[in-house]
Chains A and B, each alone.
Chain A
């Protein structure tokens, strides 16, 4: 085999670390290892080892022949969610607002709505640092970016002395309005560097140069908190990879939807990057199949994530939350609800009604059928009781499930209180969880003005395939696809990601009056021109885009990419004058140099607005505002190639393992069980049927048909 023949991607999750090793022929092998939270390097190489073993090779053989190795990690997310302290930080901020971080922004950020309603018990998040390590210094910049009071450097020096004396290991600097004028933050950082050369230090505008200080300051502190540990981990992994013969850069997955070389990764961008791998995979499938639009639905043990990959570019969350903290770091828009295989079913005693979640049994103790101490029935228990999951073939038989305990739990805790048969109760649990997930999908569809008949839905994650038919029912998707690597699809997807950087800043441009029609509520573009926008605003728009582009080229150059390899995409966040929330629009121009440029910006905003909120919500009387602009730089990297296989035939009998009884629509029914790894191109499996893979189970109800396509992925459709 020639050198450089593999693309390897590792995804560290809360329970398992997944590896995907993709060969040049498009074949891939997956590997899994238990995540080792104390030293993630162990599970990183453990997962590769597991895949290598399946290939009959050593870790060294595989690693040394890799052309690209990528890594997605929950290191930072876990550190923040678990309250793991990280380095002791100090914070220097504008005098007068030292308490901002302790007044919180959204008191119920990051907790389920039921918990938030019980206000007395739903506390604030733990502070990211003690109040006494926040020191104010005299300086002030105003909302126009003008200096009101120059930075008092002596006060910065005094503050640094105090913080160092208090034993801080890093200092964050966050001043008001620094995203418009970062001169004070930069100077304060220089002072810290002069005084304590080796100390970790950063300014808020350097990390996230966007308006709203709470999330900007929070992003800065989280970045500093996780940075040291993450960099250590990456360094150790790189060293070991080099020992094994891999000499290229390690790529790290970011929440903005692409990878970045480990030496320049900004730690905060790795937060919540795991599910983004799935999104990259959806994008890859979209291109592979030439789809117009695609949505992804990823069901894990504790969560259900929905991603949308529309015709144009992916969207970014405007107020992302990590743990209990609102942050300013951009993240791909992924909608998450707490419905996964581990979601607990329970009876609300007062009204005697069946409820699901938000609590989850997680991986420890896990569902009752794991026989590891769990006592509350979960969705997975219901799947086992109904015969949809074979208790002897869970994880390919590596984990035996206790069906009797699952039956007993559902009987005692659900069926008897409701006066139902245990199997009806189990089917009820599945139907309710399917409906909850279906509602989320529907909400995503409605919120984005998506026509599902124009979209293909991808179903993945270990818990997706058992319920994909259920939660996609009645939504009218053009197609439903279950990838052959469904259970490790996020890792696979991440391996398809490009190197990506995103830069954002806020020019805050207001055009308060534009001519519009009172009947159509549209701006009269033919009457609009450069005379309607101030020359200062035009200069700011152009200069800020130019600065972002320069930064993009400079950072990709540091990674070793020529500017000719870098593709830039421009975006702006616009709104009607007076509104307080902006929508993202792919910017048709990166400079305003003519009337047409300006018209194109307005026109693109109107189109996107109407698409999102309908024509009736148009309010042109207040004019138009550009709040932020962003540049995304992408460098294409090597991608796995999926190879088409020849057509074999519709008959799937060679993959038939057995026929067993499963409970469906109120009765036990004979159900064909197929082995995923024996299915061939063109095979057709009609419901009622189950396809068993090593690490997931695809449930096909009576009204569905699954066809194996030329990539061995499964296409699910309604039976005619």
Chain B
């Protein structure tokens, strides 16, 4: 096989007009082919939710241009091509020929979990390999131990279903029917598998033909140089964007509670350190992360890589070239055998929208902090929901027809994080800006259900000056089935997989419940349609009789019959800013639109609103808020005192059992975590006395909405409160140790039955000792070291073009 040398041509001096024309054509080709993939698919998640990717790659695996739509897997294909190169596929034994197509669903090589299936086709021109086209989408059924490919009962990789590591399924244009038949035999739903495979093959063929036409038109030399140029531009663009951010390390931490549908919940931690270097590179490390577990909520490294890239594509280089060029300036370091870099033996069934999505939430947190510290407020948001919770319903319908499909009506309508000028969106996922939330009617027909309720759940957006987008609850009955076998996958039953930012709170927890042997149809005969109100979610048995069972957010496959009911809840986004600064008018609007309740608003936001007329008493509200600030000042512990108590609790093991389990495990597994514990002990030797008052010579930059980095008259760079001027500490130190700190039981701020489990996590609130404003809130297991979100920030940095 003749392969061109990727960097052989000098792409710097291309005719700009011809180059523009070339790009238009290439972009149209991949987007057009994505439409083919979408329309021919048999999966709800592809057609109804828009999850379909088509892209063109260089022979070395670099993505040149990707179609808009599902962004999650474009780097997976890069890895797959690299694998094929490493395994010398072009040589005897496999061979890469014109008209071939390879299928991969092996997540350890190049994916996130088994259902994510890619077909990759080489593009030859005059016998020379020009690159590959790839079509990737999710297939609902992969023959795992439970229907659906995201098996909550899986504990090892082989439970996830069949593994196809870049196997040739079409050779020189002809389907390999023996391989094809093997694949169809490996799944419970061969019909959908075949539909989806045909769709990918057809999409690749469309893309291949159109790319050949482009080469015919522009000439092969120009085509190669232009492709290289596009990748270079991707990198140049990324570096230019990094040049707008203040160099330094930005850190975020998140916790996960879910192992699977059959295991008890267990705490895991993930901490990301995102370094932006002065020479415009990004180094993403996960210094602290829990070890891999025998469960379905682990991720292989390609999933983490894919998550980072889609997060950057939508949050940093959205206006650049959409390709893998930025990979040239990114380093990723994740400890082996951890929850985020598991070995190939463990299950990763839920990685995509579970633990890997937690990582996206942290990347957002880090990027938002970097944006704010660079003065780019409009790009800042609190972490969105760090997971998607969904169910799969499979079985045989009343007419004897088998069915299997994913239910996405609650899953996909999750909350985005609060922003600096407005609340978070609902229906928000960084991996697919073109996401669609399926219709009730489409789901009811395909999955044989009756949705009783699909509604926003009030008070689930993380509280803050600007709250997160709300979660959605789905209460669903089996309807028109002879037998059904649903399973549910999710996380966040004891503590949510996200955080707030700058004083905002994280979002809600959730759970799955089953109500079997119900009297649903007796009620409907009486003209009653029960459980249509989101508030019924937690009081289900008051409305319908049956055998109730509450699960965590994942539930294994449990047989159901007509009229049986299950409930699930997605997650909201994190809040941004001190809740005491929330405009009361926004609260009234939330009450009117049923995104919030007055009861919770009074508790969190300290507002005075007439329950009948919803009129706001501004004077009383200000008075209530002032009293709250004063209470913060009186109940908050000084940093040193808090730290002493924290260390003492760890030493005496006066911590809840789940926390002790996790601390013991992570202390052994993660040297970085052990270092953090030691560092806090060492801090006790310091006075940790705040500076308190300082004369400011000049403000250097805003670190957060409540904290400025300034130069005092003595030439020292220090952190001060932007509201009252209280001086915390030197700019290089963690201001949190100089704050007032208060541990809050999260149940106080949670809707009924959705209280976080304080044995798993508490709200650690940080107040300004001067004025009582809430600067940060950590959702954290008690006893965990205080996070330093900023390290080695370049104080005197100026943005590109700044004078």
Contacts and interface: CB of A to CB of B under 8 A. Distances in A.
Contacts of A130: 592-593
Contacts of B237: 350-351
Contacts of A107: 425, 427-428, 433-437
Contact of A140 (B28, B205, B428, B524): B524
B431 to A, nearest CB: 10
B519 to A, nearest CB: 14
B499 interface: no
B191 A118 contact: no
Residue among A100, A117, A432 facing the most chain B CB atoms (10 A cut-off): A117
A132 interface: yes
B582 interface: no
Interface string B448-472: 1011111110000000000000001
A176 B594 contact: no
Given A98-B455, A143-B441, A435-B24, A117 B314 contact: yes
A460 interface: no
A704 to B, nearest CB: 19
Nearest to B472: A103
Interface string B736-769: 0000000000000000000000000000000000
B532 A143 contact: no
Contacts of A351: 233, 236-237, 320-321
Residue among B206, B313, B445 facing the most chain A CB atoms (10 A cut-off): B445
B13 to A, nearest CB: 10
A604 interface: no
Interface in A87-114: 95-100, 102-108, 113-114
Interface string B9-36: 0000000110111001100100110011
A211 B16 contact: no
Interface residues of A, number: 84
Contacts of A577: 191
Contact of A512 (B321, B401, B435, B592): B401
A213 B210 contact: no
A398 interface: no
B221 interface: no
A455 to B, nearest CB: 17
B524 to A, nearest CB: 5
A508 B195 CA distance: 20
A431 interface: yes
A701 to B, nearest CB: 15
A700 to B, nearest CB: 21
Residue among B241, B441, B452, B532 facing the most chain A CB atoms (10 A cut-off): B441
A100 B451 CA distance: 12
Contact of A106 (B31, B434, B450, B455): B434
A428 interface: yes
B324 interface: no
Given A123-B425, A617-B199, A176 B38 contact: no
A131 interface: yes
B434 A116 contact: yes
B413 interface: yes
A485 to B, nearest CB: 30
B288 interface: no
Contacts of B416: 119-120
Contact of B444 (A117, A132, A142): A142
Nearest to B410: A103
Nearest to B426: A103
A706 B719 CA distance: 74
Interface in B306-350: 313-315, 318-322
A138 B543 CA distance: 15
A580 B236 contact: no
Interface stretch (A156-164, A219-227, A252-260, A440-448): A440-448
B529 A139 contact: yes
A114 B319 CA distance: 6
A177 interface: yes
B210 A446 contact: yes
Contacts of B44: 580
Interface in B380-394: 381
Contact of A118 (B319, B528, B532): B319
B50 to A, nearest CB: 7
Given A617-B40, A622-B42, A435 B532 contact: no
Contacts of B532: 95-96, 136, 138
A619 B195 contact: yes
A618 B195 CA distance: 9
B430 interface: yes
Contacts of B451: 96-97
Nearest to A136: B532
Contacts of A442: 25, 28, 210, 213
A614 B527 contact: no
A114 B202 CA distance: 26
A447 B35 CA distance: 9
Contacts of B320: 350-351
B691 interface: no
Given A96-B454, A119-B430, A435 B25 contact: yes
Contact of B195 (A102, A356, A579): A579
Given A131-B594, A142-B479, A614-B205, A108 B433 contact: yes
A322 interface: no
Contacts of A138: 527-529, 532
B427 A439 contact: no
Contacts of B381: 120
A81 to B, nearest CB: 20
A529 to B, nearest CB: 20
Interface stretch (A47-55, A146-154, A560-568, A672-680): A146-154
Contacts of A140: 450, 524, 529
Contacts of A132: 592-593
B322 A353 contact: no
B626 to A, nearest CB: 31
Contact of A96 (B435, B444, B448, B453): B453
A2 interface: no
Nearest to B19: A353
Contacts of B199: 617
A427 B17 contact: yes
B734 to A, nearest CB: 28
B217 interface: yes
A578 B434 contact: no
Contact of A152 (B378, B527, B592, B594): B527
B440 interface: yes
Interface string A194-224: 0000000000000000011111000000000
B780 interface: no
B35 A143 contact: no
Nearest to B36: A613
B379 A120 contact: yes
Contacts of B480: 142-144
Nearest to A217: B439
Nearest to B41: A580
A418 B42 contact: no
A174 to B, nearest CB: 11
A104 B434 CA distance: 12
B773 interface: no
Interface of B: 16-17, 19-21, 24-25, 28, 31-32, 35-36, 38-44, 46-48, 50, 68, 190-192, 194-195, 198-199, 201-202, 205-206, 209-210, 213, 217, 233, 236-237, 240-241, 313-315, 318-322, 378-379, 381, 401, 413, 416, 419, 425-428, 430, 433-437, 439-442, 444-446, 448, 450-456, 472, 475, 479-480, 524, 527-529, 531-533, 592-594
12 contacts: A95-B529, A106-B435, A117-B313, A123-B425, A124-B427, A142-B450, A350-B237, A420-B16, A432-B20, A432-B21, A439-B28, A619-B194
In the complex, the 3 A-B pairs of residues with the closest C-beta atoms, listed nearest first: A96-B532, A428-B17, A435-B21
Given A107-B427, A117-B313, A440-B28, 13 more contacts: A97-B453, A105-B437, A119-B314, A119-B318, A121-B378, A130-B593, A140-B524, A148-B529, A353-B19, A418-B16, A442-B25, A580-B42, A621-B190
